[in-house]
Amino acid sequence: MPAHFVDLLRRFASETPDAPCLAHEDVLLSFAALHQRSSRLANALLGEGVKRGDRVAILDHTSPVSFELFFACAKIGAIMMPLNWRLSAGEIAGIVADGTPAVMLVAPDLLPLLAQAAAAPRQIEVGAAYAAWCEAASDADPVIPHLPHDPLMLLYTSGTTGTPKGVVLTHESHAYSGIVASEWGFTPTSVNLSAMPTFHIGGLGYGMMGLSQGGLTVLAQQLDPASIMQLMVRHGVTHTFLVPTVIQRLVEHAEAGAPVPSSLQWMGYGAAPIGESILRRALVVFGCDFTHAYGLTETSGTIVALLPEAHDPDGPNRERLRSCGRAMAWVELALFDPATGEKVATGEVGEIRVRTAMNMLGYWQKPVETAATITPEGWLCTGDAAWQDADGYIYIHDRYKDMIVSGGENIYPAELENTLQAHPQIAEVAVIGTPHQRWGETPRAYVVPRGEPCPSEAEIIAFTRERLAHYKCPTSVVFVSALPRNASGKLIKRDLRLIDRERSAGTGQ
């Protein structure tokens, strides 16, 4: 069983109290300081009547306060409830009504987002009021015991597939991030750049990895290439995790002459495979190891990884670059036919299902949705369609609900997207199904071109027809300046379909 993060903080605060732990803008906290601050916050919450199992919400930008709250909740048995500040006031109101927090920490500039939400019993503004409130409390560690399966976090899904649901993660499920960190080469001397927002598992999960080994975590406020590269150089970053689109922008920034950190040892990425051309350029620019991670909020983060040795575009197994890797050692993974509930054969497409201690307890106050996601045998149904080769590598086709059925044939948009990513004049691409009078549905590609000259629709369709069966190829192409993405960089197909419907209504296509 992995060590709980709150126990790791206590250990490092005792053994290496002055070692740097968190850096954010001009703030640098040691392990002793983070331990003390989180204890003050824990006691302040107890003073407000917060009890075991109560939710404490936070609506704040990336800052050390999120980490202080994480450990404060862990110390008193409360449940941390981060809120996505990129949502609308109406969406946040729905989440607050669902999670019913006892206390809410709010950044002053984000207060308008609570305009439609029911008022929490106690609301603290992050800043001077928060600092004074915490300072008035004791810095003694409450040391309230917890069990491995006690809830620790209530993370609401990004809503890419519908209304956000509250995912309940436990002390034990979240603690596996520490084991993943050791597998990925984190050490006490590592400097980890965390560029994901802290309302996301990629922010609070990956963001804990450096800390779990006694290293330094640098919190990125901005995601533009210049800011990220400056942080890497300034702090001597050794590890970071980004989505492929951000890696591409960093590569272009470096190729334009920006200073490149010589300290970088490892770069993780997720949300999508990395294109071969971008990988080749990134290997030249950064000269570090790369790892592809696959995971969900419901699995507390990474459960499958494609390790650095597979990232050789000229190696004998270069086709594995299209894979997200193999299951972690403590994860049981199998592919099932959702219609029959039976496992599929090697090489056949099925739904990824996993059994692991990293799985969520369930969806907050949603027993029906929980039962539909976690089988009686303990398998968590991811909804992702994939196939597995004889060596255990997983190749994701798509979300089952994103699958296009054209003339009775199943078309997985991800396969077509991966093919189009190899086109030298395409920067980004997304494929969705659109209505077709004869075939029922047909693929349509939304393309962000890479500079000038812009390829034509006919050229792109011909490019895919040279590489795929014709029924899989797009019958139309729409050029756009950007694709809709959520805060973690994932493509929001639901929003793209809305855009497509509005476009079709306007053009009659």
Q: What digits encode the pLDDT tens for the residues 431-448?
A: 998 887 767 788 999 999
Q: What pLDDT does residue 488 have? A: 60
Lowest-pLDDT range of 99-108, 118-127, 342-351:
118-127
Q: Does residue 409 lie within any of the structural domains?
A: yes
Q: What pLDDT does residue 160 have? A: 40
The pairing of strands 216-219 and 239-242 is unpaired
Alpha carbon 286 to its chain's center: 23
| pLDDT tens digits, 451-503 | 888 899 999 999 998 888 787 889 999 999 999 887 666 778 878 888 888 88
Q: What is the mean pLDDT of the chain?
A: 90
Count of domains forming the chain = 1
What percentage of the chain exceeds 90 in pLDDT? 64
The two three-digit tokens of residue 231, written as one number? 């942080």
Q: Which domain holds residue 408?
A: 403-507
407 or 418: whose pLDDT is higher?
418
How far CA 322 is from CA of 83, 268, 292, 311, in Å, comes to 33, 15, 10, 10
Q: How far is the C-alpha of 305 from the C-alpha of 291, rounded, in Å?
A: 7
Q: Does residue 445 lie within any of the structural domains?
A: yes
Q: Does residue 410 lie within any of the structural domains?
A: yes
Q: What pLDDT does residue 491 have? A: 78
Q: Does residue 397 lie within any of the structural domains?
A: no
What percentage of the chain exceeds 70 in pLDDT? 94
Nearest to 188 by CA among 178, 198, 202: 178
Q: What pLDDT does residue 161 have? A: 43
Q: Does residue 413 lie within any of the structural domains?
A: yes
Q: Does residue 461 lie within any of the structural domains?
A: yes
Lowest-pLDDT range of 134-138, 180-184, 271-275, 361-365:
271-275
Q: Does residue 414 lie within any of the structural domains?
A: yes
| pLDDT tens digits, 269-285 | 887 677 778 888 999 99
Enter the DSSP assignment of 443.
E
- CATH number for position 451: 3.30.300.30
Average pLDDT over residues 318-327: 88
Q: How far is the C-alpha of 122 from the C-alpha of 133, rounded, in Å?
A: 12
Q: How far is the C-alpha of 165 from the C-alpha of 157, rounded, in Å?
A: 6
pLDDT above 80 (res 407): no
Enter the DSSP assignment of 297.
G
Q: How far is the C-alpha of 401 from the C-alpha of 403, rounded, in Å?
A: 5
Q: What pLDDT does residue 414 have? A: 75
Beta bridge partners of 447: 429, 479
Q: How far is the C-alpha of 231 from the C-alpha of 241, rounded, in Å?
A: 14
Average pLDDT over residues 76-83: 97
How far CA 113 is from CA of 16, 56, 93, in Å, comes to 40, 17, 8
181 or 440: whose pLDDT is higher?
181
Alpha carbon 199 to its chain's center: 10
Torsion sign over Cα 196, 201, 207, 209:
negative
pLDDT above 80 (res 505): no
CB atoms within 10 A of CB 276: 16
Lowest-pLDDT range of 15-19, 37-41, 292-296:
292-296
Q: Is residue 399 very low, low, confident or very high in pLDDT (cuts 50, 70, 90)? A: low
Residue 306 and residue 281 in contact, taking contact as beta carbons nearer than 8 Å: no
299 or 488: whose pLDDT is higher?
299
Average pLDDT over residues 45-66: 96
- Which amino acid is present at 409? E
Within 184-337, residue ranges assigned H as helices are 201-204, 209-212, 225-235, 244-255, 276-286
CA angle 362/366/369 to nearest 5° reads: 75
Average pLDDT over residues 343-371: 95
Q: How far is the C-alpha of 403 from the C-alpha of 103, rounded, in Å?
A: 42
How big is the chain by its Cα radius of gyration, in Å?
23
| pLDDT tens digits, 330-346 | 999 999 998 899 999 99
Beta bridge partners of 384: 399
Residue 260 and residue 287 in contact, taking contact as beta carbons nearer than 8 Å: no
Q: Does residue 503 lie within any of the structural domains?
A: yes
pLDDT above 60 (res 508): no
Average pLDDT over residues 20-34: 96
Nearest to 271 by CA among 291, 244, 252: 244
The two three-digit tokens of residue 85, written as one number? 């500040």
Contacts of 11 (CB under 8 A, 6+ apart): 3
Contacts of 314 (CB under 8 A, 6+ apart): none
pLDDT above 60 (res 408): no
pLDDT above 60 (res 400): no
What is the pTM (predicted TM-score) of this model?
0.81
